[in-house]
């Protein structure tokens, strides 16, 4: 077997389209050892699905395999059941008290304002002019908290995403931890003044009776802000890029949940989710040992021909469509409904209003393997 050479995923061409590399790995094995980062690379759908659902054998809380985790990193995302269940249920309550109709109106109004500001001006950068401001407004509105200054928040938030690739770029680890701490400081500021009724006010009020530790609560609110902003804004960009690569005469407006989900399968931004193996076990045809890291390549699994017929094509009414773009199992995305709602509004409006929208230049990808995104996307509507 040839070494997969995971660092090749950082080449700009691979950041724009990693699928040729994923296919090469998958032809060797759906569960492949990489000696550079000493981890298993999982490209098969069935194997990814199995590991994501199996919190007993594959943990998100790395303390279970002896890795020290500072309290500042303990959150919804880094705990396992049963501790995870308490904070997850509390956050679910938060999502339930948020009003989807109000969110819909806010997103539509904000999108109209942003598009009005750019549609007459010729080519513009979709990332900074639409995707980021729209998503920041949506996520803070959902949380019922003040919107931070975008020029402070976005670079800080991107530093956290860079930190998620620290097995490939070790220099990104420390800045990522520091940026998380700074963002948790913002959450602490929110709680100093009374908040309007809604998501955050509800979970803060309910945390003591739900048995959720205050620091875990703060960190988890940070996770909702960070995960929600990054994934949803990056998806507007990776999704639009996929749509603009279709010739105008073959495009359809992506204005319904089914079509948005097909776009998440095909061009979702989250490419990797990792777990640590807790007990010696078997995944696919490989023996996995306690302590080893297993990285599920969701982007690859979402194009596994064993699961999806004609996986390289966009089929807007694909049914069923059990893609892994929102994860699966105990840590599956809590904001999937919100993400689909925002994307449906944005892609629907763009598709209907600007049928001849086009790319002005090739996008510049961010150097992120875990969560794909672009520095800029120059488009003309
Ligand atoms: C297209 C947009 C989105 C994509 C592709 C996406 C994808 C994902 C994925 C793959 C996971 C699983 C992580 C894992 O297995 O460890 C996840 C978890 C999560 N997502 Fe999303 N997400 C999106 C939007 C959102 C939004 C808008 C929010 C919040 C407003 C959100 C909040 C969360 C949270 C809180 C978790 C952690 C859940 C847990 O660990 O229990 N996501 N997301």
Ranges of H-type helices in the chain: 12-16, 19-28, 45-53, 83-97, 100-118, 126, 132-143, 150-163, 173-190, 199-210, 214-244, 257-267, 298-301, 336-353
CA 336 / ligand 1 centre spacing (Å): 7
Class of domain 6-380: mainly alpha
Beta bridge partners of 273: 296
Distance of CA 215 to the CA centre of its chain: 23
* pTM of structure: 0.97
Residue with the nearest Cα to atom 17 of ligand 1? 333
CA 122 / ligand 1 centre spacing (Å): 34
Q: Per-residue pLDDT for the chain (381 aa), expressed as one digit of tens each?
A: 678 899 999 999 999 999 999 999 999 999 999 998 999 999 999 999 999 999 999 999 999 999 999 999 999 999 999 999 999 999 999 999 999 999 999 999 999 999 999 988 899 999 999 999 999 999 999 999 999 999 999 999 999 999 999 999 999 999 999 999 999 999 999 999 889 999 999 999 999 999 999 999 999 999 999 999 999 999 999 999 999 999 999 999 999 999 999 999 999 999 999 999 999 999 999 999 999 999 999 999 999 999 999 999 999 999 999 999 999 999 999 999 999 999 999 999 999 999 999 999 999 999 999 999 999 999 999
Is 221 touching ligand 1 by the criterion CB < 6 Å? no
Distance of CA 183 to the CA centre of its chain: 18
pLDDT of residue 1: 67
Cβ(138)–Cβ(106) under 8 Å? yes
Instruction: Copy the structure tokens of residue 279.
Output: 């007990």
Interstrand relation of 39-42 and 293-297 (parallel, antiparallel or unpaired):
parallel
Question: Would you give the DSSP letter of residue 245?
Answer: T
Is 325 touching ligand 1 by the criterion CB < 6 Å? yes
Of the candidates 302, 356, 323, 325, the one whose C-alpha atom is nearest the C-alpha of residue 22 is: 302
Residue with the nearest Cα to atom 9 of ligand 1? 326
Residue with the nearest Cα to atom 38 of ligand 1? 331
CA 121 / ligand 1 centre spacing (Å): 34
| ∠ CA 282-84-135, rounded to 5° | 100
Is 284 touching ligand 1 by the criterion CB < 6 Å? no
CA 356 / ligand 1 centre spacing (Å): 32
CA 228 / ligand 1 centre spacing (Å): 7
Residue with the nearest Cα to atom 39 of ligand 1? 331
> Ligand 1 pocket check: which of 142, 218, 231 to mutate, most ligand atoms within 8 Å of Cβ?
231
């Amino acid at each position: 077997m040839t070494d997969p050479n995971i660092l090749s995923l950082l080449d700009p061409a691979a950041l724009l389209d990693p699928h040729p590399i994923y296919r090469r790995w998958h032809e060797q094995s759906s569960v492949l050892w990489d000696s550079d980062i000493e981890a298993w690379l999982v490209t098969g759908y069935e194997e990814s699905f199995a590991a994501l659902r199996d919190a007993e054998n594959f943990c998100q809380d790395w303390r279970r395999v002896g890795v020290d985790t500072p309290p500042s990193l303990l959150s919804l995302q880094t705990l396992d059941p049963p501790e995870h269940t308490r904070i997850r249920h509390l956050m679910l309550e938060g999502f339930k008290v948020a009003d989807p109709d109000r969110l819909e109106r806010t997103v539509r109004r904000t999108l109209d304002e942003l598009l009005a500001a750019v549609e007459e001006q010729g080519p513009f950068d979709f990332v900074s002019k639409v995707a980021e401001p729209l998503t920041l407004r949506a996520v803070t509105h959902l949380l019922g908290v003040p919107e931070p200054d975008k020029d402070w928040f976005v670079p800080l938030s991107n530093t956290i995403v860079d930190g998620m690739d620290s097995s490939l770029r070790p220099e990104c680890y420390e800045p990522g931890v520091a940026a998380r701490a700074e963002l948790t400081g913002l959450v602490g500021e929110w709680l100093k003044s009374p908040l309007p009724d809604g998501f955050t006010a509800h979970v803060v009020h309910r945390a003591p009776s739900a048995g959720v530790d205050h620091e875990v609560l703060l960190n988890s609110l940070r996770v909702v802000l960070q995960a929600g902003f990054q994934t949803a804004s990056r998806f507007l960009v990776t999704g639009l890029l996929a749509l603009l690569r279709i010739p105008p005469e073959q495009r359809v407006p992506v204005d319904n949940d089914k079509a948005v989900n097909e776009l998440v399968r095909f061009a979702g931004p989250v490419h990797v989710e990792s777990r640590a193996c807790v007990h010696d076990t078997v995944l696919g045809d490989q023996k996995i040992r306690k302590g080893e890291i297993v990285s599920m390549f969701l982007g690859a699994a979402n194009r596994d021909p064993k699961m999806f017929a004609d996986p390289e094509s966009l089929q807007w009414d694909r049914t069923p469509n059990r893609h892994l773009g929102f994860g699966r199992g105990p840590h599956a995305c809590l904001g999937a409904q919100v993400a689909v709602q925002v994307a449906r509004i944005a892609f629907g409006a763009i598709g209907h209003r600007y049928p001849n929208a086009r790319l002005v230049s090739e996008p510049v990808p961010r150097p992120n393997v875990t969560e794909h995104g672009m520095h800029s996307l120059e488009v003309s509507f």
